[in-house]
Structure formats: structure tokens, C-alpha cells
Amino acid sequence: MAGTAEIFKAQGQSCNAKGIAAAIAALTAAFGNRVVISLAVREQHGNTLTWVPNQPPDAVVYPQNTGDVQTIVRICADNRVPVIPFGVGTSLEGHINAPLGGVSIDFRDMNKVLAVHAEDLDCVVEPGITRKALNEHLRDQGLFFPIDPGADASLGGMAATRCSGTNAVRYGTMKDNVLALKVVMADGELMTTSRRAKKSSAGYDLTRLMVGSEGTLGVITELTLKLSGIPEAIASGVCPFPSVDAACKATILTIQSGIPVARIELLDALQIRAVNAYSKLSLPEVPTLFVEFHGSDAGVAEQSQRFGEIVADLGGGPFDWATKPEDRSRLWQARHDGYWAARHLRPGAQAFATDVCVPISRLAECVTASQRAAAELHLIAPILGHVGDGNFHLSLLVDMADAGEVERAGILMERVVELALSMDGTCTGEHGVGQGKMKYLKAEHGAPALAAMAAIKRALDPQNIMNPGKIVALN
Amino acid sequence: MAGTAEIFKAQGQSCNAKGIAAAIAALTAAFGNRVVISLAVREQHGNTLTWVPNQPPDAVVYPQNTGDVQTIVRICADNRVPVIPFGVGTSLEGHINAPLGGVSIDFRDMNKVLAVHAEDLDCVVEPGITRKALNEHLRDQGLFFPIDPGADASLGGMAATRCSGTNAVRYGTMKDNVLALKVVMADGELMTTSRRAKKSSAGYDLTRLMVGSEGTLGVITELTLKLSGIPEAIASGVCPFPSVDAACKATILTIQSGIPVARIELLDALQIRAVNAYSKLSLPEVPTLFVEFHGSDAGVAEQSQRFGEIVADLGGGPFDWATKPEDRSRLWQARHDGYWAARHLRPGAQAFATDVCVPISRLAECVTASQRAAAELHLIAPILGHVGDGNFHLSLLVDMADAGEVERAGILMERVVELALSMDGTCTGEHGVGQGKMKYLKAEHGAPALAAMAAIKRALDPQNIMNPGKIVALN
């Protein structure tokens, strides 16, 4: 392990080389070849789809059950070694990196559905299952788990980052769809956060405290999730608008009118150009809303019609909607491929996705100011947004060989966050803090909130071994 | 203040008489006649609609703004004196009592709507405003705040107890409808938990940690709340069933079918008898569902029709529904008067409301077992339930002069909680813990969760001055 320790020292990071060696020896005694220390595997576990540099852990362990996770955490606690939970590695802000080294817990083998309670509309799963695998499992029972971040993320990771995505405007985020968690705490004890009852007032909301805590307070080993019935009918459509402002106004009026839209996604003109090229579509290259309605046959027809009326009043349209599954799938596949489409706008460039969220009344202003900032900085940055929630993403396409451009990309990311914060918004609507957004938390929340977060972190993880260096900086 | 100190000593409680005297002197210097120490006022602030005995605070203070609250908390912190937030005193589990004495902060004068953001469907309010006053304020804008616990509670108290009520099956609980809070912490610092963006992944969910913390982690001085549009159409109805089981099955099927029912309330046969007598109705004295549907004209008609079909399949009905406001109001007034109607079943008796919540698949079993337990113990205890959430209440009508009956009432309350816990339920769906339900938390959550709650309490309130003696017992 000396090699790794040297790398850390070269990066100016503290490293508990002795503790790490002892932990790996104890882990190997307990788990044999389910402990992996090859560089390739370690690097794969310290890599994210982001600008944060690769920081590999010292070892990767593959537990098979909650008891294994308790053993791993106890070994790490005894040796003051960091513990970093790993789902499938789709996080965007350096959540799974190991800036202080340590042990990555890979939930690859803990991916089972443990129970489905159809009458209660809930299920119990292990953290390694991905959302597509879960929905595959549920389909026969007419049920689905509605949170859809685009990527086929693991449910443990989705809970840990409080993720959301396209369906959140109707179905909420992970905070609204996790009923209870089992969490291995920093001392190896197993905590159950709640029961399976749909609501409770019995003490502090530990479920919501763990959702979004990014592994910094404990390791999730089991999730009880709320499910929804697969809607009887689904209608989808695409609608062009003369401006971002008109598209955002249509979104506001749709929600104010109580139309229970299931998805309402904004793609700016540049993103539409990318989607047309990548997905072989021929949409007009103007700001466009992709919408979807869920309900009864009569219900989705009524919703679609009322949406069409709002659109027409704002000079948008024509609004065409379809209920055929194949038409819908093609459309939403194109939307989900938005990130890859954006990358194809500029082959060879690196794509950095950033994410902010503002009150919806400020959304058009925030999007257009972000577009202006990108233009001023000579950057290519198509925009995609979950506009029903006031949430949008920029995909910055950067030539990494051009140092000036890399610097300007950093400036743009900061400027977009500053814009969002100036509008009573947040530096991240759904990607999470990781390492990437720690620097904005004080401006967003203020010193007392940050002090409360640090106090909670210290109280639950006194040795600072649970995914250290993420969310809260401890001194 | 010697009088109060003596009372506390007589009750075997510790009391910081010197600190209390010093705090009252400092508060009086700062707030003059907004500090009240008369016994009548103090007793009114140590009284709840429950069996927990009156435990008055040493003084009551009426702040006018957040700065006043910070001053009060700082004075109390300097003197290690408990701080107990007080809304309108409708809590049911001894939340506002002062078992260790201290200062009650009465939010009577902090009852303003500070802002309404109609486009964002949110508003900012002070904690003393009641839900009816808020909805009165919002009505002209076509908006409403959906959480309805029956009592005209204050919004601060509703957030502090994580309350819910009849509309929760569709609109969620307070945890789902609070966007952000301002909270005065134990050191007097003002914490803002979140921004006005509809969602965020920026760090620990301090909003949800504070919602349901019952004043034990801080004092809420401002709330940003999600609003809903007043539905275009509302349909209500009443439906008799041959059994509790059939009524619960109808509820399960309604929700599984995706009918977005806004309220679905079970009244057992005894509760219907009480309602008939109190509200001059002539409903058949059998288990009955009160339902309400929100939507467009066509939407509520479709929902009502589909509900009627489910009911008929289960041998229930006839299901009559009405959309006229006067008919609806009469019906729901009768439902809301359920508690008072229950009391009138046995004039002179004391009524104790208790509250549990179970997975909906176990609800019929839990309700009928509770009815059986009441009968075995020769107690009169009509049942009312927010059955869409698996939540129900017993109103125990007890002759306080009969010591044996009082004891049996205590046994019944424990037995109902045990039943709920044995079915993966919670000891309280919406009333909160207060003093009354502390003893059940370990059985419900287990030692690691209780240890986490205590660690958080100690981290954020090291002197244990924030509403001490509620939720978490510290040693």
C-alpha cells in the first residue's frame, strides 16, 4: 500500500498508512477475495463523471449483507480509516472519491428486492439495485418507482444524494419516496430510521436526515421505498416556444392551474440542436418543452387539452401529443440522451454537468442570464431543465487542452451558482454537494446552518471516518 | 417565584430557582409588560388537551419579532433556563408543559403573513398564525394551505409536531409542505434551514430535522410553506360499509387504482352514533367512510364514479356524493366535530385522544383489535381514522372519579400502541411524542436510533434548555 500512501502525500493529504494497512489485513482475513486492491479497480471507484480528479480508495470490498457492512465499518473504525459507499458510480460531484484514502464499499452484490407490499404500495430493497432493475421487477404487479434521474443509478446512491429527475414535479424527490432506511453507523451499530407506516410523528426525522447525507453520517444497507401504480394512460408531447420566457410562463400556468403534469422538461435551442443531431429528430431549433401526463384515459386527454390552451395563449405550439408507447419512448429516449447529445455537439470535448434550482418565478431570468454568461465567456453550454421544479442543468463542453477555456468554464459554473443564490435558489437541486459544491454551502445556508451540519456530523461520526471531505469540512 | 420552585420540588423535579429569577428579571427589563407571571396565565400555558398533568412555566413572554426571540433565548441560555415555544395550545401529548419550569414563548403577536408568492405557490408566515387565518388570507388569490389537523392550530406548532390530518393522503404532511424555516438555536443564533427553491440537494435536510422536533432543537420563528391551488371542483360523499374490513379494503383499492382521493376518513359505528347525536344527522350506525375528491368538474365526477364502483364490489354503499358547498360543509363540519361528538357520548367524562399509524394492509386488523381491546376493558372509545394513510385515533371517554377505569384507560392506550408496533406501525402518526409517548420510542425505533436522536439533541442543545423533557430523555 506504500504506493497509494505516497500518492496521497504528493497531493498534500494526510494519510493513515499504518491504519490502512491494518484495516486491509483485517478485511482480507474476513472477506478473502472480496477485498480488491488492484489499481484499476481502485481507480474505477475513485472516478466520477465530473471535473473532480480521480482519487482512488486503498481497497474495494464487496459485502453480501448488512452484517458484512457492519464488520467492514467496525474494522475501519478500529483503524480510523475512511469508509466510502459506492453504488454504480454515476455521481457528478466527486461523492465517491477518496481524498483521504480509505475503503470503498461496493454494493454490487447487495442488489436484491427483499419484499414488495403491493397493498401498501411499498417495497424493501438492498442499496445496490438500480432503478431500471427495480422497475423491471415491479412491472408485473402494475407498480413502479417513479424517481428517474436519467442515469441507471443505484437506489442507495439515489437516496444518499437526495436525487430526483424528470418525474419529481409530480412524484417528488427521494426525500418523498423513502419510507425507512437501515443504516450502519460510524460505530458499526445498525440503525433503523423508521417503520413502514406511511407517516409518523415519532421523534426526529432520521430518514430525511440520512437521505442526502451522501454517506457522511452512515452507510445505507436497506431501503423501504414508496411505490406508485403504473398509470392507466400516459400522454406525451413536445411543444416549441418563441422564447425561454414563454416556455417558463407556460410551466408556471400549468402548475398553478392544478394540471398534475408528470414531467415538464425545457430544452433550450442549442440543446434541441444537439438532440436533433444525436437522436435523428427534426424539431424546430427553439426553446422546447417535453411534457408527459399520467392518469385515466379521460384524465390525460383533459390535461393535454388544457395544457394546449395555455401554450396557445403564450404564442407557443403547435402542441402535438401522443399516447402510443413507441412514440413516447422515442421522445423520452431523446430527452434522456440529452447529456450524450450535448457531448456530440463538440467531439473530443469534456462535458461538465452542473445543476442549480430556483423558485420557478425566477427560472426564465436565471436560464437566460446563464445563457448570456456562457456567450460572454465564449463557452458552449446547452441547457436542460426540470422546469416544473425550477431546476436546470448546463452541460459545459470544454476543450481540456485549452487552459484559458478550462478557467472560463470554472468561472461560468461559479457565476451560475451565484445567479441561483441571488434568486433565493440552491447551488444544487439534485446532484448533491460531494466535493464539488462544498464551497457554496456557506453562501447558501449561512454560518449557523453550517455549524449545525458540522455539529451533527461530529455527533454521529466523531472520528470523521464516514466519507470524509464531502458536504461538511471539519477542522 | 418561590411558589413555583416549591411546586416543582414537591413534584420531585430539579429546578434552577436562582437562574429562573435572574432570567425573569432580565426578560422584564427587556420586554416590560410582555412578560407575564400570573398563575392563571402560566397555568393556561402548561395545559394541554390530554391526560398529562398541568406543569406551568415560570413566565410567559410575548415576542413581536425574531430578534425578540433571539433575546429571550439568549437570556435563558445565560441562565440555563428552559425555553418552551407555545402556539395556541392544541397539542395532545404534553408538548407545551414545563416539567422543569422555564419560559414559555407565546407567539400570539407573531401571526403575520410576510409574503405570498403566487407564481411559486409558496408563502412566508410567522409561527403564530393559525391555519384558518392563513387560508382566509389566501382565499382571494385562489390558493390554500392544505394541511388540516382539525383544530385551528398555529403553523409553528403544526410544523413542530409534524402534524397532518384529513388532507394528508393527497397533499402530504407538514414534512412535505414546509419549504424552509428560520429557527433560533440554543445559543440564540438564527439559522435558516433552506432556500425557497422547491427542491435542493445542498447538504443535510435541516428543514425536515426541525419539522417534528417539537421545540427541542430550536424555536421556529418563520416558515416558508408550499401552497396549493384551490381545486376547480370538489365532490364529497359518505358511504356506509358492512364492516371495518370492507371499508379498509375499499380504501386500499381506491389508492391502488390511482384515484387521487383528497380525504378518506373512517368513522366506526360508535363514532357515527356520536356524530348523529351531536350534529343532528341520521347516518346508518355502521362503519362509514367520508370521502372528498379534488380536481376539474370532469375529474371529480370520474373519481366519484370509480370510487362508487369499488364500494359496490365490496358490498358497501349506497355512495351518495355532492358538489354543493353547503352540503359538503355540513358533512365535514360533522367530521371535524368528531372529537366533541365523542365527548358528548358520555357527558362528564374526560376524553383522551390517542393516535397510531400502521401500513394500510394491517389497518382493518389493527382497528378491530383495538375495538376488541376496548370492549374487553369495558371502555368506551369511538374510532376515527385518516385511513388513506393507515392512521387512526381512539377517543377514550373516561370517568376520572373511577380509579379502576382510569387504570384500564392507560392499559388500553398501551395496548393500542403495542398492536401498532407489532404491525410495523408507529406509536404516533401525527400527534407527536411530547411527554406522553416518550416511553414507546425505544420499542419503535431501537437503541441505535434513540442514541442518534440523543446525540443530535446534545450537539445542538448542549445545555438541554430547548423544551427539555420531550422526545428524548437525556441523562
Q: Any bridge partners for residue B130, and if so which?
A: B154
Closest-CA distance of chain A to residue B427, Å: 7
Which B positions 160-179 lie with beta carbon below 8 A of chain A?
Answer: 161-164, 168, 172-173, 175-176
pLDDT, residue A334, reads 86
pLDDT at B75 over 90: yes
pLDDT at B164 over 50: yes
Closest-CA distance of chain B to residue A279, Å: 30
pLDDT, residue A475, reads 60
Residues in chain A predicted with pLDDT less than 70, given as ranges, are: 1-15, 48-49, 475
Q: Choose the closest CB to B389 out of A189, A195, A199.
A: A199
Residue A406 CA, distance from chain mean position: 24
* Helix and strand totals (H; E) in chain A: 18, 18
B297-345 pLDDT, tens per residue? 999 999 999 999 999 999 998 998 877 778 788 888 888 888 889 999 9
pLDDT, residue A49, reads 67
pLDDT, residue B469, reads 94
pLDDT at B8 over 70: no
B10-26 pLDDT, tens per residue? 444 446 899 999 999 99
A191 touching B, CB under 8 A?
yes
Cα angle B78-B84-B89, degrees, rounded to a multiple of 5: 160
For an interface test with A, give the residue of B124, B195, B199 to mutate (most A CBs within 10 A).
B199
- CA distance to B44, B91, B407, per residue, from B349 (Å): 21, 20, 14
CB contact under 8 A, B432 and A168: no
pLDDT, residue B270, reads 96
Which B positions 134-163 lie with beta carbon below 8 A of chain A?
Answer: 161-163
Which A positions 409-468 lie with beta carbon below 8 A of chain B?
Answer: 420-421, 424-433, 437, 440-441, 444-449, 451-453, 455-456, 458-460
For an interface test with B, give the residue of A91, A178, A201, A362 to mutate (most B CBs within 10 A).
A201
CB A80 within 8 A of CB A26: no
pLDDT, residue A398, reads 95
**Minimal Cα distance from B458: which residue of A?**
A459
pLDDT, residue A446, reads 97
**Complex-level ipTM beyond the 0.90 threshold:** yes
CB B217 within 8 A of CB B187: no
Task: Tell me the average pLDDT of chain B.
Answer: 93
Q: How far apart are CA B243 and CA B224, in angstroms?
A: 42
Which A positions 109-128 lie with beta carbon below 8 A of chain B?
Answer: 117-122
B93 touching A, CB under 8 A?
no
| Phi–psi pair at A277, nearest 5 degrees | -70, -45
pLDDT, residue B49, reads 67
Q: How far apart are CA A213 and CA A209, in angstroms?
A: 7
Query: With helix as H, strand as E and coil as C, how does B349-388 read?
Result: CEEEEEEEECCHHHHHHHHHHHHHHHHHCCCECCEEEEHH
pLDDT, residue A194, reads 98
